[in-house]
Every structure is written in structure tokens, then in C-alpha cells.
Amino acid sequence: MRVYNFSAGPAVLPEAVLEQIRSDLPDWQGSGMSVMEVSHRSADFVAVAQLAESHLRRLMTIPDNYKVLFLQGGATGQFAATAMNLSAAGDTVDFVRTGAWGVKAAKQAAPFVNVNIAADGAATSADGKYNHVPAQDTWQTSDEAAYLHYTPNETIGGVEFSFIPDSKVPLVADMSSTILSRPLDVSRFGVIYAGAQKNIGPAGLTLVIVREDLLDRARDITPSVLNYRVMADSDSMSNTPPTFTWYVAGLVFEWLLDQGGLEAIGEVNERKKNKLYAYIDNEDFYSNPVAPDSRSWMNVPFVLAQPKLDGQFLEQSLAAGMTNLKGHRSVGGMRASIYNAMPEEGVDALISFMSEFARRHG
């Protein structure tokens, strides 16, 4: 039996995609092999790879002057890869930090660039925690930064930008946990990157969407597997790509198109998060610490008024068919990740469970 899986990542996949994988697995397209067993250079696999890219381009309306790369190394690999690809030694890079992933991104870039923390949400919050997006007119950007890096959605703290920053320098965004959640104006960005294991597919694939005029800034030291120019020129196949994950990502993109694209899924996502936050705000037993204008659509952290009941909450939610509601170890409490593949009924079931639990214990 399927459960409602609220994991932050690797996360729930659409059931229709899992069924398709199951039926494809032993004998993919009449080849007598699974897709995992064929060469990435075979015509059949190249067709799958290209179709996945064209689905993604359609979904996100990616302009023609952007390359889409299918890489490995995770979003974490991109923390350093962005620096190696987009800056020269001695360059300054602006970082806006609104949570744990932004902190890690700046740290991984630090060996390569002069890190300027243009804004830090923990420094401007009352309790020193990341719970809001600092207003852009308070940011201390440097005059000649190579680029500005930020994390549109912080998966752990559940802090999300409700706006795309204005920037004179290329905007570089770690969209791991918000990509594909709703329509996005890609043309505002220099680089968008995302680990696959939330809204894209299984772990193992890292998407990079890069504006073409930024392809030739890589330092000589950049390993070829992380080099945007090398990977763009080889259709992400300078070495063996993560073929199975790429194939599954293509199925997920197709599923999203079947749902009506990002406009349609965005409406569902908006309803899902609105009802969950509304319930949490109206029920004294639960609370969410994030400023209302900075709340994540995809990751909803909440705490119980009596933390000693956390164990019971988790035990009973599991018995009710809901998994992975435990908050990140650095934050505690609970977190419901409600990515694209979490059906609205899953959020309804969670709210019913929470209200029943509050009634019994509140």
C-alpha cells in the first residue's frame, strides 16, 4: 500500500511514473533490455535524453539562449562548480543567506572567491534563526561581484523568496526544492541549478540551466564533469551521465505536462500550502515560525505546543499512513514537504490527522 510520504528528499514520485517504470523495466521499448542496461550513446537513449530536455524547455519556457545540462554531483557539487565556472581568482561574489543551504553554498565557494555576505537572515531576525527573507533594499551588495548567489527556497527552515531579486550581475539560484513548483521567469537568471531528488526525479541527477554568454568563464582548474562549456558542447555526455535518473526525470516532466504544466500544478501547490498554513495558524496547538511573506510552498515546518508529544505524533501519523514528518535534526519539530507529487488529498489527510491529534492532546 502507498503511504503519504512527506519526505524532504529523496521524495515522493508520481504514482503514474512509478507504474511506467515498472512496465518499462524488463523490456524497454522492445529492446529486450532495461533502460539501465543500454549505452548512453545509443540512438534510443539519446532520443530519451533529448525528449526529456524538450519537455523541460516546454514546461519552464526556457529561452533559446539557455543551455540545459544534466550533470552529477548534486546541488552540493554546484556550490563549488558555480564559483569555478563563473568567476576568476580574486573575484568577489555576493551571497544572500536565508538558511542552512545558503550557508553551505557560501562555505563551499569560499576557497575560490571572496565571499561577500550581502544579507543574512539569521543576523536580522530577533532570535538569530533563519525565519525570513531580508528586504532587498537592506542588502549590502558589492559593486563588482562576479555574480549573486541565493537559495530561493530553503528546504530545512521552510523560508522561500516571494520575489526574484533585481540584480545587475548574473543571478545564480539553488532551486533544488522549488524548481517546477510553479511558473518562473527563467530569463531573469544567469544560472539555475537543482538536485533532482525533490521535484525532478530520483537522486543522482543535477540540473543546470545556464545562459549561453556565461559558458566561457570557467577557470582552467575546473574538472570537465563540472565544466559548463564542456558539458554544453557534449550534450552532457562528456562522460557517462546518470541514464536511469535522466529517463525518470523525462517521465516526471511528461507527467507534469499531462497535469497541465506549471500553471496548473502551481495552482494545486498554492491551494495545498495555503490550507496547511491556514490550519496551523488557526490552531494554537501548532505553530510555524516563518514570517508569512517568506513561507515555503514546498516545505512546511511546524512545532507542537508540547514538544514532549513529538514522539507520539510521529508514531500515530505513521500508523495513519503518513511518513517522514520528522523535522530536520537541526530544527526539531515536524516538517511536511509537499512537493508536486504529493496529492492534495495527502495534505487534507495530514490536516485531519493533526486536528484529531490536537483534539485529543490539546
Active site residues: 101, 174, 198
Nearer to ligand PMP, 71 or 218 (CB): 71
> Binding to ligand PMP by residue 75, rule CB under 6 A?
yes
What angle separates helix 344-361 from helix 261-282, to the nearest 10 degrees? 10
> Binding to ligand PMP by residue 151, rule CB under 6 A?
yes
Compute the least distance from the CB of residue 362 to ligand PMP, in Å: 32
> Please, are residues 159 and 296 in contact by the beta-carbon 8 Å criterion?
yes
> Please, are residues 94 and 146 in contact by the beta-carbon 8 Å criterion?
no
> Please, are residues 144 and 93 in contact by the beta-carbon 8 Å criterion?
no
> Binding to ligand PMP by residue 76, rule CB under 6 A?
yes
- Which one of 131, 141, 177, 269 is in contact with ligand PMP (CB under 6 A)? 177
Measured between alpha carbons, how far is 149 from 121 in angstroms, rounded to an integer?
14
Torsion-angle region of 90 (φ positive above 0: left; ψ -120 to 50: alpha; else: beta):
left
> Binding to ligand PMP by residue 204, rule CB under 6 A?
no
Looking only at residues 248 through 307 of this chain, which bind ligand PMP when binding is defined by CB under 6 A? none
- Which one of 87, 141, 155, 222 is in contact with ligand PMP (CB under 6 A)? 155
> Binding to ligand PMP by residue 7, rule CB under 6 A?
no
> Please, are residues 105 and 83 in contact by the beta-carbon 8 Å criterion?
no
SS (H, E, C) 19-56: HHHHHHCCCHHHCCCCHHHCCCCCHHHHHHHHHHHHHH
Compute the least distance from the CB of residue 237 to ligand PMP, in Å: 21
- Which one of 7, 82, 176, 199 is in contact with ligand PMP (CB under 6 A)? 176
Question: Which residue's C-alpha cell is 558589492?
Answer: 142
Residues in a beta bridge with 192: 173, 209
- Which one of 6, 101, 112, 285 is in contact with ligand PMP (CB under 6 A)? 101
> Binding to ligand PMP by residue 174, rule CB under 6 A?
yes
Nearer to ligand PMP, 10 or 321 (CB): 10
Look at strands 4-5 and 322-323 and give their pairing: parallel
Please identify the residue of the shown chain whose CB is closest to the bound ligand PMP: 74
Size of the site for ligand PMP (CB under 6 A): 11
Segment contacting ligand PMP (CB under 6 A): 116-124, 174-182, 319-327, 337-345? 174-182
Sign of the Cα pseudo-torsion (30, 35, 39, 45, in order): positive
> Binding to ligand PMP by residue 82, rule CB under 6 A?
no
Residues in a beta bridge with 194: 207
Nearer to ligand PMP, 149 or 217 (CB): 149
Nearer to ligand PMP, 101 or 253 (CB): 101
Residues in a beta bridge with 173: 150, 192
Nearer to ligand PMP, 156 or 354 (CB): 156
Which residue type is seen at 136?
Q
- Which one of 9, 201, 242, 333 is in contact with ligand PMP (CB under 6 A)? 9
Measured between alpha carbons, how far is 92 from 223 in angstroms, rounded to an integer?
21
Segment contacting ligand PMP (CB under 6 A): 69-77, 121-129, 243-251, 341-349? 69-77
CB-side neighbour CA atoms (13 Å) of 147: 26
Cα–Cα distance list, 340 to 179, 181, 248 (Å)? 10, 6, 15
> Binding to ligand PMP by residue 202, rule CB under 6 A?
no
For the chain, what's the residue count? 362
Nearer to ligand PMP, 28 or 297 (CB): 297
> Binding to ligand PMP by residue 181, rule CB under 6 A?
no
> Binding to ligand PMP by residue 195, rule CB under 6 A?
yes
Nearer to ligand PMP, 8 or 56 (CB): 8
Sign of the Cα pseudo-torsion (20, 26, 29, 33, in order): positive
Q: Summarize as ranges the residues that interact with ligand PMP (CB under 6 A).
A: 9, 74-76, 101, 151, 155, 174, 176-177, 195
